Amino acid sequence: YAMLLSLIFLIVLVAAIVGFVFRHEIKTNFESNLELALKDYNVTADRHSEAVDTIQRTLHCCGVQSYSDWEKTEYFSQKGIPQSCCKNQNDCSEEDLKDPNKAKLKVFVDGCFFLVTSTMESKMSVVAGISFGIACFQLIGIVLSCCLSRYITNNQYEMV
């Protein structure tokens, strides 16, 4: 049991170290995937488009770096900026969303990349605290299982 807990503890420790070391690559990868999701937005009406809409509605943001990122997409030439960028869903017409100057007043101007990464970084302390607590319980379990093993071994020798 102690060996199993030790193995799990080491796996969690390695995962935490790898996540910390490669955090910049994770950010870069997320940014490029978000740009791809904007480029392919609503072409196939897939989960990526739904994810972009959810992020924009939840975090009150639009585009990767700013709302103007939508101007480079095929979707913009057809329908303008998506409805999920609107500050007020009732006050956004398709005409307004096709004109970047009018849209600036009606949509969220901040990009989603910075907001997503800052939200993740702000929650990292909570995740780190929970992980540290679990690691402490695992270490206590390892020590107690070793003590139990030693106790059982000593009692068996005394019986014989």
Per-residue pLDDT tens over the stretch 62-105:
988 988 888 888 888 888 888 888 888 888 888 888 888 888 88
Distance CA 30, CA 22 (A): 12
- Specify the number of domains making up the chain: 1
Predicted local distance difference test score (pLDDT) of residue 15: 81
Q: Tell the burial category of 30 from Cβ atoms under 10 Å away from its Cβ (0-12, 13-18, 19+).
A: middle
Distance CA 79, CA 112 (A): 20
Write out the residue range of the structural domain in which residue 2 sits.
1-158
Collect the ranges in the chain with pLDDT lower than 50.
160
Rg of the Cα atoms in the chain: 25
Predicted local distance difference test score (pLDDT) of residue 43: 60
Q: CATH number for the domain including 116?
A: 1.10.1450.10
Predicted local distance difference test score (pLDDT) of residue 154: 66
Segment holding 21, helix H or strand E: helix 2-21
